[in-house]
Amino acid sequence: MLKASEIRDMDAGQIKDKIVELKKQLFNLRFQNNVGQLANTANLSSVRKDIARLYTISKEMNIKIS
């Protein structure tokens, strides 16, 4: 789970890379869940929340720059 302070230390490129990485991870988790191989379904919500947190802080950074 990413902390907001860790995300704020990243630059815009790192945030975009992390979003792409987490989206791939979310896809794989959803696939495993549908197949029945996923043991801990809490990982799905955790990854979704991390993606939302990254988007939120990214928007905050864009507003501050403007």
What angle separates helix 42-65 from helix 12-35, to the nearest 10 degrees? 160
Q: Nearest CA to 12 among 59, 45, 51?
A: 59
Closest to 29 measured CA to CA, from 51, 16, 18, 45: 45
Would residue 57 count as lying in a domain? yes
Residues 38-63 have pLDDT tens digits of 999 999 999 999 999 999 999 998 88
Do the domain assignments include residue 53?
A: yes
Backbone angles phi, psi at 58, to 5 degrees: -60, -45
Q: Is residue 59 part of a domain?
A: yes
Q: What average pLDDT does the chain have?
A: 93
Overall number of domains in the chain:
1
pLDDT reading at 66 higher than 60: no
Is residue 56 included in any domain, yes or no? yes
58 is a domain residue: yes
> Which residue carries 């975009």 as its tokens?
16
Alpha-carbon gap, residue 39 to 12, rounded angstroms: 33
Examine residue 55 and state whether it is found in any structural domain, yes or no: yes
